[in-house]
Structure 1
Amino acid sequence: MTIDRKQAPEFRAIDNINLLRPAHQALDNGCNVFCFNSGDQELVRIEWIFANQRYNPEKPLLNVAVNTMLTEGTNNMTQAQISDKVDFYGAFLQVDYGYDNSLVTLYSLNKHLQHTLPVIKDILTDSIFPEKELATYIRNQQQKLQVSLQKNDFVARRAFNKALYGDTAYGLGADADTFKTLKRDDMLAHFKQMYQPSNCTIIISGKIEPQILELITDTFDKSWTNPDIKPDATQPEIKPSTEHFYFTEKPDALQSAIRMGLPVINRTHPDFPALQVLNTVLGGYFGSRLMANIREDKGYTYGIGSGMSSLKHAGAMFIATEVGADVCKAAIAEIEKEINLLKSDLIPEEELSLVRNYMLGSLLGSLENVFSHADKFKNLYFAGLDYDYYDRYVETVKTISAERLKELANVYLDFDGFYKVIVGKY
Structure 2
Amino acid sequence: MLNRTLAPESKQVDEIRFIEPLKQQLDNGIPVFTINAGTQELVRIEFIFQNVNWDPAKPVQAIGVSHLVNNGTEKLSAKAIADQVDYYGAFLQTEYGADQLTVKLYTLNKHLSSVLPILYAILNESVFPDQELAIFVQNQKQSLQVNLQKNDFLSRKHFANALFGDTTYGSNIEAADYDALRRDDLLDYYRAAYKPENCTIIVAGKFEATEFNILNEIIGRPWNNQDAASINEFTFSNPTKGEIVIERPDALQSAIRMGTLAITRHHADFPGFQVLNCLLGGYFGSRLMANIREDKGYTYGIGSAVVSLKDAGYFFIATEVGAEVCGSALAEIEKEITLLKTELVEEEELSLVRSYMLGSMLGSLENAFSHADKFKNVYFSGLDYSYYDNYIKTVKNITAAELKILANTYLDTAQFSKVVVGKK
Q: Determine if the TM-score, normalized by the shorter chain, exceeds 0.5.
A: yes
Change (3 A) 1:160 1:41: same
Report if the CA contact (8 A) 1:29-1:226 is conserved.
Answer: no
Instruction: Name structure 2 gaps, 5 residues minimum.
Output: none
Tell me the residue number matched to 2:353. Answer: 355
Deviation at 1:209, TM superposition (A): 2.8
Report if the CA contact (8 A) 1:359-1:397 is conserved.
Answer: yes
Q: Secondary structure at the match of 1:172?
A: coil
Q: Secondary structure at the match of 2:300?
A: strand
- The separation in 2 between residues aligned to 1:412 and 1:70, in whole angstroms, is 41
Report if the CA contact (8 A) 2:65-2:190 is conserved.
Answer: yes
Deviation at 1:224, TM superposition (A): 2.9
Matched, 1:341 2:339: yes
Tell me the residue number matched to 2:254. Answer: 256
Report if the CA contact (8 A) 1:55-1:236 is conserved.
Answer: no
Q: What is the aligned length? A: 424
Tell me the residue number matched to 2:66. Answer: 67
Within-5 A mapping of 1:236-275: 236-275=234-273
Identical aligned pairs, as a percentage?
55
Change (3 A) 1:134 1:226: closer
Which amino acid letter does the alignment assign opposite residue 137 of structure 1? F
TM-score, normalised by the number of residues in structure 1: 0.97
Report if the CA contact (8 A) 1:167-1:238 is conserved.
Answer: no
Change (3 A) 1:225 1:139: closer
Which of 379, 391, 394 lines up with 1:393 in the alignment?
A: 391
Tell me the residue number matched to 1:113. Answer: 112
Tell me the residue number matched to 2:310. Answer: 312
Tell me the residue number matched to 2:406. Answer: 408
Within-5 A mapping of 1:12-51: 12-51=11-50
- 6-15 or 91-100, larger mean C-alpha shift: 6-15
Map Cα deviations across residues 220-245 of structure 1 (whole Å, 9 max, x no partner): 11333662x33311324335434421
Which amino acid letter does the alignment assign opposite residue 91 of structure 1? A
Which amino acid letter does the alignment assign opposite residue 392 of structure 1? N
Change (3 A) 1:7 1:344: closer
Change (3 A) 1:122 1:145: same
Runs (4+) off by over 6 Å: none
Tell me the residue number matched to 1:280. Answer: 278
Tell me the residue number matched to 1:201. Answer: 200
Q: Secondary structure at the match of 1:71?
A: coil
Q: Secondary structure at the match of 1:76?
A: coil
Which amino acid letter does the alignment assign opposite residue 178 of structure 2? F
Deviation at 1:7, TM superposition (A): 5.0
Q: Secondary structure at the match of 1:307?
A: strand
- The separation in 1 between residues aligned to 2:277 and 2:53, in whole angstroms, is 31
- The separation in 1 between residues aligned to 2:356 and 2:239, in whole angstroms, is 36
Tell me the residue number matched to 1:130. Answer: 129
- The separation in 2 between residues aligned to 1:133 and 1:210, in whole angstroms, is 38
Deviation at 1:9, TM superposition (A): 3.7
- The separation in 2 between residues aligned to 1:115 and 1:28, in whole angstroms, is 20
Deviation at 1:60, TM superposition (A): 1.2
Map Cα deviations across residues 229-270 of structure 1 (whole Å, 9 max, x no partner): 333113243354344210100000000000000000011111
Which amino acid letter does the alignment assign opposite residue 220 of structure 1? I
- The separation in 2 between residues aligned to 1:43 and 1:218, in whole angstroms, is 19
Q: Secondary structure at the match of 1:252?
A: coil
Instruction: Name structure 1 gaps, 5 residues minimum.
Output: none
Which amino acid letter does the alignment assign opposite residue 323 of structure 1? V
Report if the CA contact (8 A) 2:241-2:415 is conserved.
Answer: no
Report if the CA contact (8 A) 1:38-1:206 is conserved.
Answer: yes
Matched, 1:221 2:220: yes
Map Cα deviations across residues 186-238 of structure 1 (whole Å, 9 max, x no partner): 211110110001000001110113211100011111333662x3331132433
Tell me the residue number matched to 1:425. Answer: 423
Which amino acid letter does the alignment assign opposite residue 334 of structure 2? E
Tell me the residue number matched to 1:56. Answer: 55
Report if the CA contact (8 A) 2:124-2:225 is conserved.
Answer: no
Tell me the residue number matched to 1:147. Answer: 146
Report if the CA contact (8 A) 2:194-2:225 is conserved.
Answer: no
